[in-house]
Amino acid sequence: MHRNFILALALAVGCAGPAEREDSPPGGGSAAESLAGRRLALELTVTVPELAEEGPLHVFVPLPREASAQRVETLTVIAPIEGSIQADGLGNRFWHGESAGPRGEFQIQVNATVERLPRSSSPVAGAALTEGDRERLSPWLASTDRVPLGEATEEELRAILDELGPSPAGADARARQIYEWVVDNVEYRKTGTGWGNGDIFWACSERYGNCTDFHTLLLALARTEGIPGRFEMGFPIPMDRPSGSIGGYHCWVELWLPGAGWIPLDASEAAKHPEDRELHFGGEEPDRVLFTRGRDLRLGDDHQGPALNYFIHTFAELDGSRLDGVEQTVRYEEMP
């Protein structure tokens, strides 16, 4: 019989509104203003298969994180192996469990209560980023493994930017041009192979895929124009269903614009739902829960293999090699 370890992390909910949080846009002005927030109970269940091989097993389970429009009120992890809640350098939280020797199949259960708020923002028209802004935000202007910038992608990305024409005055106007181009020119379609990896060469040549491919291209174009951007990964929570299972992940981006700070953009949802095109530039419904931010992620010293392209599914290593067959399910229920 397994002995369960229960790790509970109670997170105090402060009285500050979202505009007072460090990375929140201070402005208003989109349709999201009229929406109410939501409190959600999340249940994430991980099943690790039976293993006959010996050697250290490390399991890394993604957890919801704090953000300008999101507060994690309670967080509990129940597992038959010892573990702890940790965070990487970007503030992404995860539970890391470890065991050794042969072991049977076991489960890990995560329960969280999350408050999710709507967002709206109003970038300052015509304002330009300063060199100080770009230096401070330089990690969000850098290349990643599947999105090399500079000479490696100059031909592909410059052709699109030239199509947009000369850059207008203000980072907000150029960001809007990039967003509109991606919505108009990338098709949301999941057929064949190659989509879903967020590879910039795929996105530029094929111009179809899922949210990962849309936002890879949007971020690459923005960063090439000197606009800082970051990749966000989580789970969709339907606005019209108070409870249910979540079948897959969703991702979006944030761009940093003068006078507004970090603003959300969701080009793939705008392509799927043209009626919400205006909302998804700077606005966000409480229809998602954020788990991780960034790409090329490393999960501490015990993560032996390559950096993760993105982190939304439980990741495990056995004796330093990636372990296949780990399953994860996610359920939610709306709370009063």
Query: What is the pLDDT tens value at each position of the chain, 336 positions in all?
Result: 456 778 776 553 333 222 233 444 333 334 455 568 999 999 999 999 999 888 999 999 999 999 999 999 999 999 999 999 999 999 999 999 999 866 899 999 999 999 999 999 989 999 999 999 999 999 999 999 999 999 999 999 999 999 999 989 999 999 999 999 999 999 999 999 999 999 999 999 999 999 999 999 999 999 999 999 999 999 999 999 999 999 999 999 999 999 999 999 999 999 999 999 999 999 999 999 999 999 999 999 999 999 999 999 999 999 999 999 999 999 999 999
> What pLDDT does residue 54 have?
86
DSSP assignment letter at 238:
-
Q: What is the pLDDT of residue 21?
A: 37
* pTM for this predicted structure: 0.91
58: tokens are: 């490390």
Q: What is the CA angle 266-270-273, rounded to 5?
A: 140
Scored b (16 or more CB within 10 A) or e, 208-239 reads bbbbbbbbbbbbbbbbbbbbbbbbbbbbbbee
The owner of tokens 């944030």 is: 254
Query: How many other C-beta atoms can be found within 10 angstroms of the C-beta atom of residue 41?
Result: 16
pLDDT number for residue 22: 42
User: What domains are there in the chain, each with its CATH number?
Assistant: 5-117+296-335 (2.60.40.2250), 131-292 (3.10.620.30)
Structure tokens at 27: 């402005």
pLDDT attached to residue 12? 39
Q: How many CB atoms lie within 10 A of CB 276?
A: 15
Q: Quick check: helix, strand or coil at residue 110?
A: strand
- Provide long-range contacts, Cβ within 8 A and 24+ apart, for 213-218: 213/186, 214/182, 214/186, 214/188, 214/267, 214/268, 214/271, 215/251, 215/252, 215/253, 215/265, 215/267, 215/268, 216/146, 216/147, 217/182, 217/186, 218/178, 218/179, 218/182, 218/253, 218/265, 218/267
Name residue 55's amino acid.
G
Q: What is the per-residue pLDDT for 53?
A: 86
